[in-house]
């Protein structure tokens, strides 16, 4: 959706056009689900949070003045609602993790079950480490490294200078790198990379 076609849609939604809300939901539901998924990690509460985000979107859209991009506004609201859920989750005791199936992109090559299981375990392990980060560092890391947003846009979303975003990103990564080997699934990858590096020391980094 281009901003050109987006503006009238938001205006209609702000005016209470019922069809516009449905269109808004269908247009942005994948984006919202993806951000929630990225910020929360594997979770069985994904749908609850996505639903909550849209309830907040519909309640608050009247306040959107268009000073920022709608997607930036949506990202900010989504990350804030997700953080609220994370805070509540942290205040509760942890129950056994429920594995959440992740769908595979249509174009992705067919993955062997073992490889898929390993990949999921690595992602789950990474999120266990991400869970240890402070909320601010986590948000920046997720939006930058997992969602691929530029630092400038993240700065708008988290309401912080770009330099602060970069600093948080640096320290978030540093904490992750330092603890990566505490997770066996990731330590195995590190060891295999070390082995590969030992074999080809002259190979240049990316």
Partner 1 sequence: MTHRPKWRALSAYHAGALGPDGRRRVEQHLATCEPCTAGLARIEAYDEVARTVRAQRTPPMAARLGAEAAVVASLAGEVRNQPNPEVPETLGAKAAALTGVFAEAANAETPVLDWAAIEAGVFAAGAAQAEPVGPKEREGEHEPKWRALLAYHEGALSDAGRARLEAHLASCRVCQRTLASMGTYDEVADALQRSTPEVAFERIEPSLRRASRRPHRGRWLATGAGVLAAAAAFALLVRPAEPSVPVATSEPVAEPLVEEASPLTATVVAVGGDVRVAGRAVDLGAALDETDAVTLAPDAAVHVRLASGTGFALAGAAELALSRLRDDGIELELRRGRVQSQVRTGTPYSVRAGPYVVRVRGTRFEVRREGDDVAVTVDEGVVEVLRDGALVALLPAPAQWSSRDGFQSSPQGSVRAPWGLSLAPSEGADVQLAPTDRLVRWEIGGATFVAAGGLAMRAPPGPLALTAIDAQGRRHDATVEVAAEGALVEDTVVLPEEQPSRRGTLRPEDIQSVVRPSVARMQRCYERILRRMNPELEGSYALRVTVQRDGSVRRVRVVTDADAPPPFVACLETIARRWRFPSPEGGPTATFRLPLRFDVSAH
Q: Of 7, 8, 11, 62, which one interacts with partner 1 (CB under 8 A)?
A: 62
Min dist CB 89 to partner 1, Å, is: 9
From 45, 47, 43, select the one nearest 97 (Cα to Cα).
43
Total site size for partner 1, rule CB under 8 A: 95
Q: Is residue 45 a contact point for partner 1 (CB under 8 A)? A: yes
How far CA 148 is from CA of 58, 106, 145, 151, 177, in Å, comes to 26, 20, 5, 9, 19
Q: Of 65, 110, 113, 199, which one interacts with partner 1 (CB under 8 A)?
A: 65
3-state secondary structure of 12: helix
Window 68-107: contact mask with partner 1 (x via CB under 8 A): x----x--xx--xx-xx--xx--xxx-xx-x-xxxxxx--
User: 142-181: which residues touch partner 1 (CB under 8 A)?
Assistant: 145-148, 156-159, 170, 173-174, 176-178, 180-181
Min dist CB 4 to partner 1, Å, is: 18
From 49, 55, 47, 58, select the one nearest 14 (Cα to Cα).
58
CA dist., res. 179 & res. 176, Å (int): 5
Task: Compare residues 11 and 178 and give the one whose CB is closer to partner 1.
Answer: 178
89's tokens: 């989750």
């Amino acid at each position: 959706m281009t901003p050109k076609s987006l503006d009238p849609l938001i205006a209609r939604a702000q005016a209470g056009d019922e069809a516009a809300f449905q269109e808004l939901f269908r247009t942005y539901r994948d984006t919202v689900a993806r951000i929630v998924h990225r910020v929360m990690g594997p979770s069985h509460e994904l749908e609850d949070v996505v639903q909550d985000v849209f309830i907040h979107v519909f309640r608050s859209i009247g306040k959107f003045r268009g000073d920022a991009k709608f997607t930036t506004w949506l990202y900010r609201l989504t990350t804030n609602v997700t953080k609220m859920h994370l805070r509540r989750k942290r205040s509760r005791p942890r129950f056994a993790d429920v594995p959440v199936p992740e769908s595979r992109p249509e174009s992705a090559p067919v993955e062997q079950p073992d490889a898929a299981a390993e990949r999921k375990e690595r992602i789950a392990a990474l999120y266990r480490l991400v869970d240890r980060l402070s909320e601010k560092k986590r948000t920046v890391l997720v939006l930058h490294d997992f969602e691929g947003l530029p630092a400038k846009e993240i700065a708008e979303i988290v309401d912080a200078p770009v330099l602060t975003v970069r600093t948080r990103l640096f320290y978030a990564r540093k904490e992750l790198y330092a603890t990566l080997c505490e997770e066996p699934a990731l330590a195995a990858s590190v060891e295999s990379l070390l082995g590969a590096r030992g074999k080809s020391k002259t190979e240049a980094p990316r």
